[in-house]
Structure 1
Amino acid sequence: MRVKKVWSGALSFVFIGMMGLHADTLMGFVKAYQEKGIDSIERLLQSYLTQREFWEDVLENRDISFGYYENMDYLFVIDKADPKLALYALEGEKIVKVNQTKALVGSKGGDKKSEGDKATPIGVYQILKKLTGLSAYYGPFALETNYPNPLDIAFKRTGHGIWIHGLPLSGKRDELNTKGCVAIENAILKDYEQRIKGKKALLIVYEGALKYATKDELATILSALYSWRSAWANNDLVGYMNFYSPDFKHASGMNFKTYEKFKTRVFTKNETKTIRFSGVNITPYPNTEHRRLFRVAFNQDYKAYKKNKLSYSSQGLKELYVELKDNQMHIIMEK
């Protein structure tokens, strides 16, 4: 089976090029529809999403150096050890380098741990918005990041105000480092901002070497992600909790044991759940401990029903921070 195109919508539906579909597979879909209706087709598609082989096929011709993206537009990437800020455009299956420029970063190496330590954080950060009306020292404007992100908070890292900003409008700057931000030339900052305006962008910060994602790693994570969802939807507590690290921390402050107790109460309600994922983005997460970490973010539409009546619903961005160990995905943090 050759997958021609994958898109995530209300059903995380897989559009398959009909000419490339094996006849027996196609007939399986037709027979399921004839005998059991359209819901059976959804169940078949959901089962494909839990299979590594399916995702290996999806990833075959994609550039996945910086991860897997369904609805991300741009990536900023910088090495603290040799600070040059690069901008990449995500164009379908391709990742295209737009430009790269010299940058200034914080004077302290390693992770940012506390307020005022003058370290640029290592990790993956969302570009939130453009900040204007700042001191002329920061150039024409700044692009705000979401440091500290949920993983930073779980690790009790403090500080705030990590931006991508310009150079003093006066043209005078003697410092070779920032207090933790990334600073670049004003003209290039303006060009970058115009490109990403109204688009979604991430900042990836590493130090010394970035270990790129592999198709094997991404296929493992993607199949595990949908297997995790399946266990959740089917009220399979044991299968669900098997995806969590013993060192797991929830954004609410719950650890593994308290989270397991919470989910036990939820699962024993025996509700019927509909859980849709869309816009899945997976980014290798740089860290100084040399762990194989990834940020997994997606839009989640969750609905629970009791006796055919809606009992709970939520919709929004879901973030998982996962670690790959022994070819298995372990969730270490969730928001």
Structure 2
Amino acid sequence: MADTAGTGRAMKSADSLITHKRPEYSRLFITATILTSVIAAFGLLASGALANDHLTLPESVTGPETLLVKSLEEITESRMDSALSGVEQLLKTNPNFRLAHLIKGDLLLARSRPISNMGDTAGLSQQHIADLREEALARVQHHREPVSRNMTPKYLVQMPPEQNYAIIADTGKSRLYIYENVGGRPRYLADYYISSGKNGSQKLKEGDKKTPIGVYFVTANVPREKLTDFYGGAAFPINYPNEWDRRNGRSGFGIWIHGTPSDTYSRPPRASDGCVVLANEDLQTVAKRLQVGITPVIISDKIEWIKPDDTAVLRSKLIKHLENWRRDWESGNIEAYIGNYGQDFFSGNRNLAEWSQHKRQVNSAKNWIKVGIRNIGMFLYPGRDDLMVVNFDQEYSSNNLSNRIKKRQYWMRENKKGPWKIIYESAI
């Protein structure tokens, strides 16, 4: 990331060129660079090409990103003084916002000479400048291509009553979305800029510096006193590698949602070793909505959006399968019960044959069985239409055992038109 001292030197040099009479800005010569994309994006906004009712704003319309975006839009309208005023206002409350420093430096330099590129200053690392350009593009693209409030991520098939919110991270767009649970259905609440793995997504092994793709859950809230400054004000580990990752030989550990060091407001879109990183003030807001052991963190490299009612058929089908499984277990018909499990089933170190043999032995000692399930959560796996993560509370009783546990199952459809079968099952 660009160092603030270097950026500050460039700004001081530019400030020294300003006389008591405010000179006119020199023409901004924009070449075919990332800045062109940024300016072009705001050209669409300024022309009204995007309908206002489709524009999703950050949770706070006066937040740092909104002020930054507004200043960039004013640049496209040649309102340089207003743009500079907005950036200076932003830096008063967020002096470590490096992208804002870079834009301010450009605006000051543009008063004295033409500039040909974003970050057209000497003495700064070109990689740092490229990182800041990528951040600017990611932030602008979010406002240029907003998601309709009438659409939701397809992964939230059913949210259980105890789960207040769901987190959806889009590594491709550098964005994190929060959805509120309203009667089991998701409702958009807010979204934030994020940074993710240096080498992209689809994590496969330890040290590959990639962010995993999948359905995960918050497993802990790391106490502030146990964190170094690098992680910002909070950190929330997730359960990577999950059951599906381990089955597919994926390795690694320590994938967290965390903040930024105190000397920087945000990090470039691709900057972490695999974690999901937010600005500290954004993380403080997100942290209030995270429930350890309950909140799902679904990470995708390209979110698929659907109309909320489009999950109704799939939800109804899975609930029916789950009820059949419960009823078959209660019936004592062990073969009907085992028929709910797929050929690729695994649990612990047991495959389907080994697990079935164990279940037959256990069942032979049962005179009666009662099974109740509630708090059902259903989450479709990113990038797949045939894999579902199902969580629920299970109440089990029989003539010789009684318990209550939280259970997780993975259901997979055997083919495009075939039935769904359980391929993994275990207590959480």
Q: Give the Å deviation of 1:275.
A: 1.0
Aligned residues: 265
Give the match's secondary structure for 1:146: coil
- How do 1:256-295 and structure 2 match up within 5 A? 256-287=352-383, 290-295=384-389
- How do 1:1-335 and structure 2 match up within 5 A? 65=154, 66-71=156-161, 72-131=163-222, 132=224, 133-171=226-264, 176-196=270-290, 200-210=294-304, 214-250=311-347, 252-287=348-383, 290-305=384-399, 311-324=400-413, 325=415, 326-335=417-426
Distance 1:216 1:327, change over 3 A: farther
Distance 1:127 1:154, change over 3 A: same
Give the match's secondary structure for 1:228: helix
Please identify which structure carries the higher strand content: 1
Stretches of structure 1 that go unaligned for 5 or more consecutive residues are 1-62, 306-310
Query: Runs (4+) of structure 1 moved beyond 4 Å?
Result: 172-175
The TM-score normalised by the length of structure 1 is: 0.73
Describe the superposition over 1:52-109 as per-residue Cα deviations: whole angstroms up to 9, x where unpaired.
xxxxxxxxxxx89421123221111012221201111112254222211111111334
Q: Give the Å deviation of 1:154.
A: 2.4
Describe the superposition over 1:202-233 as per-residue Cα deviations: whole angstroms up to 9, x where unpaired.
10111224375621111111011011011111
- What amino acid sits opposite 1:167 in the alignment? T
Distance 1:109 1:239, change over 3 A: farther
Percent pairwise identity: 26
- What amino acid sits opposite 2:208 in the alignment? D
Q: Give the Å deviation of 1:330.
A: 1.0
Asked whether the equivalents of residues 390 and 411 of structure 2 are also in contact (C-alpha less than 8 Å), the reply is: yes
Q: Give the Å deviation of 1:271.
A: 2.9
Give the match's secondary structure for 1:195: coil
Asked whether the equivalents of residues 220 and 293 of structure 2 are also in contact (C-alpha less than 8 Å), the reply is: no
Residue 47 of structure 1 corresponds to none
> Take 2:188 and 2:362, find their aligned partners in 1: how far apart are those partners?
46
Distance 1:173 1:196, change over 3 A: closer
Please identify which structure carries the higher helix content: 2
Describe the superposition over 1:144-198 as per-residue Cα deviations: whole angstroms up to 9, x where unpaired.
2121222222223221111111111122877632111100111010011123467
> Take 2:271 and 2:187, find their aligned partners in 1: how far apart are those partners?
29
Distance 1:174 1:186, change over 3 A: closer
> Take 1:219 and 1:101, find their aligned partners in 2: how far apart are those partners?
32
Describe the superposition over 1:116-170 as per-residue Cα deviations: whole angstroms up to 9, x where unpaired.
1111111111112221221111111111212122222222322111111111112
Distance 1:151 1:198, change over 3 A: closer
Asked whether the equivalents of residues 136 and 170 of structure 1 are also in contact (C-alpha less than 8 Å), the reply is: no
Asked whether the equivalents of residues 85 and 101 of structure 1 are also in contact (C-alpha less than 8 Å), the reply is: yes
Asked whether the equivalents of residues 73 and 199 of structure 1 are also in contact (C-alpha less than 8 Å), the reply is: no
CA RMSD of aligned residues (A): 2.2
The TM-score normalised by the length of structure 2 is: 0.58
Stretches of structure 2 that go unaligned for 5 or more consecutive residues are 1-151
